[in-house]
Structure 1
Amino acid sequence: MTAGTFHSGGCQCGAVRYRAAGELGYPHICHCRMCQKAAGNYFLPLGAVMRTDFTLTRGTPKWFCSSDLVRRGFCGDCGTPLFYDIPGAVSVNVTLGSLDDPDAVRPVMQSNTGRKMSWLHALDTLPIEPAALSSEREDAISASNRQHPDHDTNHWP
């Protein structure tokens, strides 16, 4: 990413959107149990942005204080986990999966690997589900899709 560029992102329903100017610092995957629970997943990818370079562009997240030190921001409408925040710190972490282009930020580290799933290394050995013979289901999902597109919009929905 070059100077003057930014990352945008938001929740699944589009009620909360944000913009992060510049590079995201320390993009990493956290395997701690608290991040697993917050993400509803086996790990949580995070990256930091300086508060001065961070802007909410739509909506207001809900916050859950997961400890006395950390609060986690999420969409109160669709539940998408969005932020890991230590109030008073100079930066806030965004969930890398909430970026409009999550492939643009590659993690450089893993943390809290003591809680990492023991079988995670074997994912590439799992069989791949065959493509559907009919696109009927995919067409029905596409026709009723309520997911916000992966870019900023003036109005949603």
Structure 2
Amino acid sequence: MTQSKPADLTGGCQCGAVRFRARLLGRGSICHCRMCQKAFGGFFGPLITAHDAKWTRGEPKWFQSSNAARRAFCGECGTPLAYETRFGLELAIGAFDDPELAAPSIQVNPADKLSFFDGLTSLPVRGNDGEWRDFLAGIHSNQHPDHDTDDWPPKGDAI
């Protein structure tokens, strides 16, 4: 019986300057620590262990966020990309081309969880209608597409 080869999981930053590829992912998590909140500019840090990640375009810049960890980000657009300790590398879940393939399975560092976090799903939802629909229809994204490209930006396009 032939065993199927795991699919490449790809991702990268918003501008396309840094791209990565991985095949073997570990546990996905939502980290509530204050350093992750600041590194992602959000309410938590969504990360997944990547045992075999390779940078396939460009190299990230690194920030030594503590004596035990450093964080990778795109030096061009600032997208958070990774977190690394002596235990290994974790990639930012939102930086994957298909984040659905890297779903978190645990929350960590709950002592720093923001008090309003658990109530976020009960907030009212604004629909994409009326004036908001018109605004969204006029947006042209300069973001790198959610797949690998030979070159970016496309020749002749100014970003």
Which TM-score applies when normalising by structure 1?
Answer: 0.88
Q: Match of 1:126, as an amino acid? A: L
Q: Percent identity?
A: 47
Q: Which residue of 1 aligns with 2:139?
A: 141
Q: Which residue of 2 aligns with 1:99?
A: 96
Distance in 1, matches of 2:150 and 2:22, equals 18
Q: Which residue of 1 aligns with 2:149?
A: 153
Distance apart, 1:106 and its partner CA: 1.7
Q: Does 1:47 align with 2:48?
A: yes
Distance in 2, matches of 1:4 and 1:130, equals 38
Q: Which residue of 2 aligns with 1:61?
A: 60
Kindly provide the CA deviation profile for residues 16-46 of structure 1, in whole angstroms up to 9, marking residues without a partner as x.
0000112x11211100001100000010111
Which TM-score applies when normalising by structure 2?
Answer: 0.87
- 3-state SS in 2 of match to 1:141: coil
**Structure 1 portions without partners, runs of 5+:** none
Distance in 1, matches of 2:124 and 2:103, equals 25
Distance in 2, matches of 1:35 and 1:121, equals 17
Q: Which residue of 2 aligns with 1:38?
A: 39
- 3-state SS in 1 of match to 2:9: strand
Q: Which residue of 2 aligns with 1:16?
A: 18
Q: Match of 1:36, as an amino acid? A: Q
Kindly provide the CA deviation profile for residues 84-129 of structure 1, in whole angstroms up to 9, marking residues without a partner as x.
012xx36311000101001112211111001111222212211111
Distance in 1, matches of 2:105 and 2:120, equals 19
Aligned residues: 149
**Would the alpha carbon gap of residues 130 and 49 (structure 1) be closer, same or farther in structure 2, given more than 3 Å must change?**
closer
Q: Match of 2:113, as an amino acid? A: K
Distance in 2, matches of 1:57 and 1:4, equals 18
- 3-state SS in 2 of match to 1:41: coil
- 3-state SS in 2 of match to 1:121: helix
**Would the alpha carbon gap of residues 3 and 118 (structure 1) be closer, same or farther in structure 2, given more than 3 Å must change?**
farther
1:4 corresponds, among 3, 6, 19, to 6
Distance in 2, matches of 1:110 and 1:119, equals 15
